[in-house]
């Protein structure tokens, strides 16, 4: 029941969040990021007592908004910790990674560096066309996201049908 209420809150936030300026857009995205973890299963979850690691790889458009959003989340008894890094070489231990390079080519390079790990990658259309497993975009003035479930499955991640149902589009598993 609690998961259903959270899903409803996520859907309402998405439906009621028209974007008028970049700061509110980033606030909506920052709120989404730690919540995605509720709807993903990893091949190896964090150890008992260890937090979920939400990493920002490259440019951080969120700042303290992401820290506040993560501090209020509890995922299967785990807190959510935010780590920031300029390169992907320190991403070991991350469960989620928001990836935003200085250029579209840089974003591609960062995503390729994470490709061998079971990390849910998240990107933003504002940073270029490169896509993580979840890709934020603006549709009709609202923050929406696309999901590449095939890529997630290829890395051993399972995304809940509840989250897939909220996506603006899904690349399905084969």
Q: What does the DSSP assignment read for 4-24? A: HHHHHHHHHHHHT-B-SSHHH
Rounded to 5 degrees, φ, ψ at 7 are -65, -40
**Residue spans per domain, the chain:** 2-171
pLDDT at 19: 40
Among candidates 67, 62, 53, which has minimal Cα distance to 28? 62
Give CATH superfamily name and number for 2-171: Response regulator (3.40.50.2300)
Q: Contact 143/32 with Cβ under 8 angstroms?
A: yes
pLDDT in tens, the chain (174 residues): 444 444 434 443 444 344 444 559 999 999 999 999 999 999 998 999 999 999 999 999 999 999 999 999 999 999 999 999 999 999 999 999 999 999 999 999 999 999 999 999 999 998 778 899 999 999 999 999 999 999 999 999 999 999 999 999 999 998
Q: Which helix (DSSP H) or strand (DSSP E) does residue 152 occupy? A: helix 149-154
pTM comes to 0.86
């Amino acid at each position: 029941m609690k998961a259903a209420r959270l899903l409803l809150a996520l859907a309402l936030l998405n439906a009621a969040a028209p974007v008028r300026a970049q700061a509110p857009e980033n606030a909506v995205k920052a709120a989404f990021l730690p919540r995605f973890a509720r709807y993903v299963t990893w091949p190896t979850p964090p150890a008992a007592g260890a937090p979920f690691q939400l990493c920002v790889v490259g440019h951080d458009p969120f700042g303290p908004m992401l820290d506040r959003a993560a501090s209020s989340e509890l995922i299967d008894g785990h807190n959510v910790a935010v780590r920031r890094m300029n390169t992907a070489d320190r991403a070991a231990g991350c469960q989620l990674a928001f990836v935003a390079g200085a250029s579209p080519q840089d974003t591609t390079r960062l995503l390729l560096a994470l490709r061998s790990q079971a990390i849910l990658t998240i990107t933003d259309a504002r940073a270029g066309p490169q896509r993580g497993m979840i890709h934020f975009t603006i549709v009709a003035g609202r923050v929406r996201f696309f999901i590449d479930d095939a890529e997630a499955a290829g890395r051993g991640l399972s995304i809940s049908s509840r989250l897939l149902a909220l996506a603006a589009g899904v690349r399905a598993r084969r």
